[in-house]
Amino acid sequence: AVVSTQSGHYGRGFDTRSTGTPLYTATRHVTTPQRIYFDITRDEELLVSGNDNGMITLYDIPNGMKNGQEGVVGHSGDVVNGVAFHPYWRILASTSGSRKLAHETQDNSLKIWQF
């Protein structure tokens, strides 16, 4: 399977043998031109995405994609721009931060989550 994004507001999962129709669509909150990453587990069971509202959205692909998002976790008060699953352990890394003016509050942080 391959996941792609368009306009930042959603990701679509495709079977690489038949790319005409998406297998699923996952919505996310992105209104910034900043690059917001997503990741999928090796077993293709979970999809995770950062959002520009400080949240992380986690999707259960085989069971929950038709029902929408599986879980939302708060990371920070800033854009969650990076998310990545560990390839073997049930660990997720997330990063936050964006360019701000000197007087604006910034949250440039890295968090490690166990799930």
Span 93-102, average pLDDT? 78
Span 84-101, average pLDDT? 87
Report phi then psi at 53, rounded to 5: -105, 15
pTM over 0.85: no
pLDDT at 70 over 70: no
Span 59-82, average pLDDT? 71
pLDDT score of 14: 65
Spatial contact of 53 and 8, defined as CB atoms under 8 Å apart: no
Four-CA torsion 45, 115, 86, 46, nearest 10 degrees: 20
